[in-house]
Amino acid sequence: MGIQLSLLLAPPPSAPDPREDRSEPTVWVRRLWILRELRAGDEHVVRRLDLRRGLNILWAAPTDAGVDNRLFQGRLSGHTAGKTTFCRLIRYVLGEPTFATQAGRHRIRAKLPSAWVVGEVLVAGELWTVARPLGIGPHPFAVRGAPIDGVFASGERLEYRVFVEALEAATVATLPVTRFAGEDAPIRWENVLPWLSRDQEARFASFIEWRDSTSESESPMLTADDRHLLVRTMLDLISDDERAEQAKNARLVAKKQAAAERAPLLAHQAEVDDKRLAELLGIGRSKANGPLFTGDPQALLTTRRAALEAAVAASRAGSDEGAAPLREAWEAAVALRADAARDLREAEARLDAERIAATEESGGAPPRTQLSLLGATLPPGRAFCSVPLAAAREAGCPLASAPPAEVRARRGRKIDDAGATTDEVLAALEMQRKHLQEALDLAKSAEHAAQRAFADAHDAQRTETATLDRERGALAQIERMLGHADATRREVEATEEELARLEKELRRSYDRQEGFRKHHAAALGKVSDRFAYVVRALLGDAMGGRIEDDGRHLALRVDEHGDRESAAVATIKLLAFDLAALTASIEGHGTLPRFLIHDGPREADMDQTIYERLFLYAKSLEERFRGDAGFQYILTTTAPPPKSLQRAPWLIDPVLDASRADGRLLGVDL
C-alpha cells in the first residue's frame, strides 16, 4: 500500500493544476432518489443516494473471502446487486431514453409498477430537480431551482425537454465544432453522454466504443469517424474554423486537380482546331507564342464571305435576266400551239359540216337529222358566239332556230358566190386541214423546245445555287469552328489563370491550416501529457504513454521498451484516456463537463494493485483543489476499493449486497 500512497504524498512536477474558473463541474448529480410512487413520505422511498463532487464509489461487496467455500452453497452478493442499474438510472435522469434492457424494464415494472427516479442535478451551477417515471404512462418533468423535495410541492413543473436544453446550452453550445461531418447533424448532449457514462457491457474494449447493442440504451448511433470527431472537438483538437478550412482546402485541391487534368486536353483541342482551320483557310501557323495564325483568320473569313455573297447576288441577277426571255418564249410557243390546235379543230368541224350538207343534198338522211348533226358539229363564227349550235337551240336562242332550208340557202349562196362545186369545196377544206395539222405539229415542237430550254436554264440555275449554298455551309462551318477554337483558346487561358489562382489560394489555405495545427498540436500535447501522467500513475513511472492524432482519428499508445498490448493494458489505456480528458478539462483544456462514470471497470486479469490506483488517482485529483473538487467521478465496483476509501465521504451509502432482497439497489429481488 505504500507504493500506492506515494502517488499522494509526492506528486510529480507535472501534477494537475486546476484552473480557478473551473472549480465546479459543468454537470453533476447531487442526489438520487428511487420512489415507489411520486408522493411525499418515507414509506414511498425505495432508496436515497447522496453524491458529492469528487470521487463517489458505489460498492457491492463480494462474499467474504475468509468463509470456507463449498459447492452448492451461498448466494451472489457483489454481482446483480444493482451497480449497473444505478449507472443506468443516472443516465436516464440525464436524458438517456431507457433505464434498462427490455427484459429488465419488464421485471422492474412487475415489482415497482408506479416507481419514479428523481435526481438533483446541477447544470452550470444552477440546481434542477428531474423526475422520470419507471412505469408506463406518466410524463417526465423538471423543476428549476428547487431541491428534490420540490417535486412534491406546488412549484412550476417544466417539460423535461427544457432541462435537456439547459444541458445542451451548458455543454455543447460552445463546442469548437458544432456539427458532425458524416451526416451534417448538430452535436447534441445525447451524443456526449455515452462517452461520459460508458456501457459496462462494452467491456472497456475501445476508447471510442461507448454503447453496446446488448444494453438496449437507444442512444444515437454514431459512426467511428463521428465519435472521433466528438472526442477531438471536446478536447479542443479541432474547430469549425479548421474544419471549414479543411473543407475549403479539399475543394481547392479537387478544383486544381480537375483544372490540371483539363488543361492538357484543352490545349490539345486548341492545337487540333488551329490545324484544321489552317488547312481549311489555307494560311500558316506560328508557334512562337502558342497556337496563333500568321494571318488573321477572321478577316480572311470575312473576305471570303463577302465574295461568296457577291457571287450569290450575281447568280440571282443572271438567273433572272436569262430565265425571263426563255419563259416568255415558252409561253408564246404555248399560245401559238393553242391557236394552231383551235384552227385545226375549226377546220375539221367545217369539213365535217360540209360533208354532212353534201350528204343531205343527195338525200342520204332526213332533213331534221341532218340539221341536228350540222348544229352539233358546225362551230359558230368567231364574230358571233362561241356556244355550240345544239346547246344554243336547246336554250331557245332565236338565231339558232332557222330551218334547214335557210341553212342550205345560205350555204348554197356561198358556194355559188365562190363558183366552186361541192367536191372542190371539200377538197379545199381537206387541204386546209392538212396545212393546219402541219402547223400544229410545228407549234408543238416549238413549244417543247422552248420548254426544254427554260428547264435547262432552270436546272443550271439550281445547280449553281446548290453549289453556292454548299460554299455558304462550308463557310458557316468554318465560322463555327473558328468560334469554337477561340472559345477553346480562351478556356485554355482561363484554366491557366485558374491554376495560378488556385495555387495561391492553396498556399494561403495550407498556411492557415498550419496555424490551426500549431494551436491544436499544443492542445494535443497537453492532453497527451495528461494521458502519460495518468498511465505512469496507474502502471508505474517507468511506463510511457502518448496520444497520436492523424487529423481524423486519435490513437493511444502505452509503452515500456516498446508498445504494450494486453486485455488489461487496453482497459487501462481507455480508463487513463477518460481520466486524462477529465484532468485536462480541470486544467482548462477542452470542454469535457468534468463528469464521468465508470461502471465496474476492472478486467479479470487486471492486477488489484493497478485497479486500486484508479481510486487513488481520483482522490489525488480531489486534493489539488482548495475546496470542493471541480469534477465528479462515479465508480461502481465489486472488487474492494482501497481501505482508506471504504468510508464516507467517498463511499456511497449503502454498500449493496445481492445476497438479500433489501440489500439490492431497488430493495427487491427481480
19 in any annotated domain: no
Dist. CA 584–CA 526, nearest whole Å: 7
Question: pLDDT (tens digit, 9 = 90+) per residue, 24-73?
Answer: 999 999 999 999 999 999 999 999 999 999 999 999 987 664 555 556 44
Higher pLDDT, 226 or 244: 226
18 in any annotated domain: no
Q: Give 56's strand partners.
A: 634
Q: Is the pLDDT of residue 601 over 70?
A: yes
Q: Is the domain of 100 the same as that of 162? A: yes
Peptide bond just before 654 cis, omega within 30 deg: yes
- Give the residue numbers spanning the domain of 509: 246-287+485-514
Q: Which residues contact 91 (CB under 8 A, 6 or more apart)?
A: 99, 193, 197, 217, 597
Mean of pLDDT values over 118-131: 97
For cell 365562190, the residue is 418
538 in any annotated domain: no
Q: What is the pLDDT of residue 105?
A: 96
Mean of pLDDT values over 602-606: 75
Higher pLDDT, 75 or 92: 92
Q: What is the pLDDT of residue 477?
A: 72
The grid cell for 332 is 408564246
Q: What is the pLDDT of residue 383?
A: 40
Contact status, residue 291 vs residue 489, Cβ threshold 8 Å: yes
Count CB atoms within 10 A of the CB of residue 380. Answer: 16
DSSP assignment, residue 10? S
Q: Is the domain of 86 the same as that of 121? A: yes
Could you say which of 461, 482, 503 is where a domain stops? Answer: 482
Higher pLDDT, 430 or 43: 43
Q: Is the domain of 510 the same as that of 380? A: no
Q: Is 14 exposed, middle or buried (0-12, 13-18, 19+ CB in 10 A)?
A: exposed
Q: Is the domain of 644 the same as that of 659? A: yes
Q: Is the pLDDT of residue 546 over 70?
A: yes
Q: What is the pLDDT of residue 9?
A: 40
Dist. CA 632–CA 338, nearest whole Å: 124
Contact status, residue 414 vs residue 354, Cβ threshold 8 Å: no
Identify the helix (H) or strand (E) that includes residue 145.
Answer: none
Average pLDDT along the chain: 82
Could you say which of 441, 459, 482 is where a domain stops? Answer: 482
Q: Is the pLDDT of residue 302 over 80?
A: no
pTM of the model: 0.64
Most confident range (mean pLDDT) of 272-281, 287-296, 379-388, 398-407 is: 272-281
**Three-state SS at 24:** coil
User: Among candidates 201, 220, 222, which has minimal Cα distance to 212?
Assistant: 201
The grid cell for 358 is 353534201
Q: What is the pLDDT of residue 403?
A: 47
Q: What is the pLDDT of residue 354?
A: 83
Contact status, residue 281 vs residue 297, Cβ threshold 8 Å: yes
3 in any annotated domain: no
pLDDT band at 292 (very low <50, low <70, confident <90, very high): very low
Q: In degrees, to the nearest 5, what angle opens at C-alpha 485 toward C-alphas 483 and 487?
A: 70
Diameter of the chain measured on Cα atoms: 178
Mean of pLDDT values over 88-97: 98
Q: Is the domain of 589 the same as that of 604? A: yes
69 in any annotated domain: no
Q: Is the domain of 253 the same as that of 325? A: no
Dist. CA 191–CA 225, nearest whole Å: 13
Strands 544-549 and 292-293, bridge-based pairing = unpaired
Q: Is the domain of 320 the same as that of 437? A: yes
**Least confident range of 38-47, 62-71, 140-149, 644-653:** 62-71
Q: Is the pLDDT of residue 351 over 90?
A: no
**Least confident range of 80-89, 215-224, 354-363, 560-569:** 560-569
Q: How many domains does the chain have?
A: 3
For cell 489555405, the residue is 509
Q: Is the pLDDT of residue 375 over 50?
A: no
Q: Is the domain of 356 the same as that of 467? A: yes
pLDDT band at 629 (very low <50, low <70, confident <90, very high): very high
Q: What is the pLDDT of residue 384?
A: 43
Mean of pLDDT values over 642-670: 93
pLDDT band at 168 (very low <50, low <70, confident <90, very high): very high
Dist. CA 262–CA 256, nearest whole Å: 10
Most confident range (mean pLDDT) of 67-76, 494-503, 627-636 is: 627-636
531 in any annotated domain: no
Higher pLDDT, 405 or 447: 447
Dist. CA 610–CA 254, nearest whole Å: 50
Q: Is the pLDDT of residue 391 over 70?
A: no
Mean of pLDDT values over 222-228: 92
Could you say which of 458, 482, 506 is where a domain stops? Answer: 482
Q: Is the pLDDT of residue 569 over 50?
A: yes
Q: What is the pLDDT of residue 459?
A: 79
Q: Is the pLDDT of residue 373 over 90?
A: no
Q: What is the pLDDT of residue 411?
A: 46
Dist. CA 37–CA 112, nearest whole Å: 9
Q: Is the domain of 273 the same as that of 309? A: no
Q: Is the pLDDT of residue 367 over 50?
A: no
pLDDT band at 82 (very low <50, low <70, confident <90, very high): very high
Contact status, residue 34 vs residue 642, Cβ threshold 8 Å: no
Q: What is the pLDDT of residue 267?
A: 80
Can you give the CATH number for the domain in which 35 is found? 3.40.50
546 in any annotated domain: no
Q: Is the domain of 109 the same as that of 177? A: yes
585 in any annotated domain: yes
Q: What is the pLDDT of residue 69?
A: 54
Taking the mean position of all CA atoms in its chain, how far away is CA 489? Answer: 33
Most confident range (mean pLDDT) of 32-46, 68-82, 168-182, 392-406 is: 32-46
Give CA separation, 85 vs 54, 79, 665, 668, in Å.
Answer: 21, 12, 8, 13
Percent of the chain surpassing pLDDT 70 = 80
Q: Is 331 exposed, middle or buried (0-12, 13-18, 19+ CB in 10 A)?
A: middle
- DSSP string for 80-126: TSSHHHHHHHHHHHTT-S-SS-HHHHHHHHHH-TT-EEEEEEEETTE
Q: What is the pLDDT of residue 318?
A: 65
Mean of pLDDT values over 529-540: 94
Q: What is the pLDDT of residue 300?
A: 67
Q: Is the domain of 157 the same as that of 175? A: yes
Q: Is the domain of 222 the same as that of 282? A: no
Q: Is the pLDDT of residue 95 over 80?
A: yes
- Three state DSSP letters for 326-385: HHHHHHHHHHHHHHHHHHHHHHHHHHHHHHHHHHHHCCCCCHHHHHHHHHHHCCCCCCCC
Q: Is the pLDDT of residue 141 over 90?
A: yes
Q: What is the pLDDT of residue 297?
A: 67
Contact status, residue 218 vs residue 97, Cβ threshold 8 Å: yes
Most confident range (mean pLDDT) of 31-35, 222-226, 512-516 is: 31-35
